Amino acid sequence: MLSLTQFRPKHLSYALSLAFSAFAASQMLATAHAAQDSAATETLSIERIFASPALSGPGIRALKVSPAGDRVTFLRGKEDDQSQLDLWEYHIKDKALRLLVDSKALVPDAGELSDEEKARRERQRIAQFNGIVEYRWSKDGNFLLFPLAGDIYLYRLNPKAGQDQVQRVTHTEAFETDPQVAPDGQSVAYIREQNIYFTDLNSGTETQLTSDGKGTLRNGMAEFIAQEEMGRYTGYWWSPDSEHIAFLQVDQTPVPITKRYEIEANDIRIIEQRYPYAGADNVHIKLGIVDTDNGDIRWVNSGQEQDIYLPRVKWLPDSQQLSYQWQSRDQQDLELRLVNLNESGTQALNSRTLVKDESDTWVALHDDLYFFKDSPSFLWSSERDGYRHLYRYDLNSGKASQITAGQWQVDALKSVDEANGWVYFTATADSPTERHLYRQRLDSNKPEHIEKITQAAGTHSVQMDPKGQVYIGTFSSRDQPPQTALYTANGERLTWLVENALNQDHPYQSYLAAHQDTEFGTLKAEDGQTLYYRITKPLGFDASKQYPVYYYVYGGPTAQTVTNRWDRRILFEQYMAQQGFIVFSLDNRGTPGRGVAFQAPAYHALGTVEVADQRSGVQYLRSLPYVDGDRIGMFGWSYGGYLTLMSVLKDPSSYATGVSVAPVTDWRLYDTHYTERYMGKPQDQQQAYDVGNVLNYAKDLEDPLMVIHGMADDNVLFSHTTQLYRQFQDNNILFETMAYPGAKHGISGQQAQTHVYRTIAEYFKRQLQP
């Protein structure tokens, strides 16, 4: 680690103390703490935050209601290793919790993941987990399917005589991924070596459906930007009648090859990765439909194969029509198109456009599409009136009626109860800092009048059964770790799945007395729009004193930080509050959940409007008598790392220091789909790219700064940070850094997470608590 700290005159008040080593500083802090009341409240440590059992309570993932509605299944970490996931069920009638598959017992040594699977898990943000990381129900509810150690397994709920409860479907040296059950429950499809296969579960016969997948050509697999930026992790879809599979064929030949160096502790691997830099060529992509009986493939005529995106594919209930979303490269046009398999004539299938959404900035992708079984119509969400709302379209005439309306956003379509005429969705109707479940009549002529289902103030995430009868609800707030229960559609709780009550048995109980409340508030941006913030005061707060600020930022167009929920950052933020810091965060213009007008200012202006809004946050903090305005330090990761750099470099008078983790430094070095959505192509928007380029401001660094990066990051490449190193060094500017051998973008793993957050915490203590 380089301990190279630079000073400014305004920091002379504490510069002398910074001359002491980190060890001496920590000793002074320890002495001060020891002088407090001997009966002081127990406070958090970095080591305990990342140790087991988890302080947030039992961690369960991938909750699903069985097709029969008689049980809830989920993945759960082991008591002594939260990262090792097993498959569990809660049987509703029996009120019994059961372990279905112990991943370690089934495969004691899972071996090494393939490079493809490692990358896929990194894209899904599950790289820190082992064991059973995903699973699927068969449509008839007879079995569950899951991959483990490169093979495919199924678990039978009620095996017949002579059948094993757990069956291994594949037995190859190759690594099978993305298994999907045919809707009729008779077959299982999967990807092996860039091709699509399926196995008949009755006979055990395996059939290869595609054979040309090799080299740069991939069948049924999601390309890099589909996984990283579109939220799509598969590239194939069974038809409802199990007779066809729609799939995407991706040719990566046009994508430029970049040499990426994966630097391990004792080795350096040179990876030739096809990485679609902004402005460079994308993959060629086309949509095909293969007959599972004879292997015949018909291709869909989408108009072109390059400079387009095909982000979503969905079958209609009749299995004779297939929809897909077509997006222009500039992402200002999004079309929902329809293909009819009964079309005769040429081998290529033509399509017609059902909906076209357009924007002067960008059209955001979504999963809000539902085709009705009982009528030729469908639901679709759109931001055409300035906020995302639901619309019902006639499949034949294209006529639309608005289902929801108001100055708030539909977050996600959850379920449709066709029989009783309800649509269920989560939204921000109460506040952009919360998420609740609502419902609306499908035939309503008052789209602004919706019914709220969930009541407790906070964030409710919902997994609903397809018919809209019951849902799994997970609730959390800044004061309550996640609680999960099964509810009826009208919000009546049927049973707790994980009550997670903060009682004497809860692992967080020892630290509960030191837990600090979070306050929410609003400010005004330069253009008059409302900005939401949250603030947490330090343990033992005394309004007559002044405190340093730990200022957490993300600020990018895809995520909020000012939400009333128990998220993965909260324990570290509580730790910082218990160490004497005020914790502050603000959602700038450009962040989601607030409508088109709130996001639009970021268009062609990344690194500009966010800096201005965060400056407003600093000005507010400095207006508070208990804030030391000269001791405000900013921290951010990924886009937050970028914004930290831009804020410290462009607005040095606002911040005393910053810590930037895994930052983008030059948008020309990031991928096409994300970057061009907000910035356009660099060939067309050179000024926007120059203004948003961290490297152009590196020579202006005045404040102490720490930069942290994983040395095998395949999302924001390590070269972003090494180029920043060079700029600082060429300008004789001192800084601090920490690099993690072998670490990807999330620097995952208990040891790595403990170390990186300890590094961040100790740095802020040295800089802001002399």
CB-count burial class (<10 Å; 0-12, 13-18, 19+) for 371: buried
**CA–CA separation, 348 vs 281, rounded Å?**
25
Q: For residue 727, give the H/E element and its range.
A: helix 719-730
Q: How far is CA 75 from CA 119, 180, 589, 672, in A?
A: 21, 18, 36, 34
Contacts of 132 by beta carbon, 8 Å cutoff, 6+ apart: 75, 85, 86, 87, 101, 103, 146, 148
What residue ranges in 94-253 does DSSP mark as E strands? 96-101, 130-131, 136-137, 143-148, 151-156, 166-168, 176-181, 187-192, 195-200, 206-208, 217-219, 236-238, 244-251
Active site residue 638: yes
Contact 603, 678 (CB under 8 A): yes
Contacts of 82 by beta carbon, 8 Å cutoff, 6+ apart: 52, 53, 54, 59
Rg (CA), the chain: 27
Contact 43, 578 (CB under 8 A): yes
Task: Locate 162 and state its tokens.
Answer: 């002579």
DSSP 3-state of 240: coil
Contacts of 217 by beta carbon, 8 Å cutoff, 6+ apart: 194, 249, 250, 251, 252
Torsion-angle region of 632 (φ positive above 0: left; ψ -120 to 50: alpha; else: beta): beta
Contact 584, 576 (CB under 8 A): no
Q: How far is CA 711 from CA 260, 305, 392, 519, 645, in A?
A: 10, 34, 48, 37, 19
Contact 597, 510 (CB under 8 A): no
> One of 506, 673, 720, 745 is an active-site residue; which one?
745
Active site residue 714: no
Closest CA to 179 of 129, 227, 128, 220: 220
Cis amide bond preceding 53, omega within 30: yes
Contact 747, 753 (CB under 8 A): yes
Task: Locate 45 and state its tokens.
Answer: 């440590």
Active site residue 585: no
> One of 654, 713, 714, 748 is an active-site residue; which one?
713
> One of 638, 654, 660, 748 is an active-site residue; which one?
638
- The set of catalytic residues is 638, 713, 745
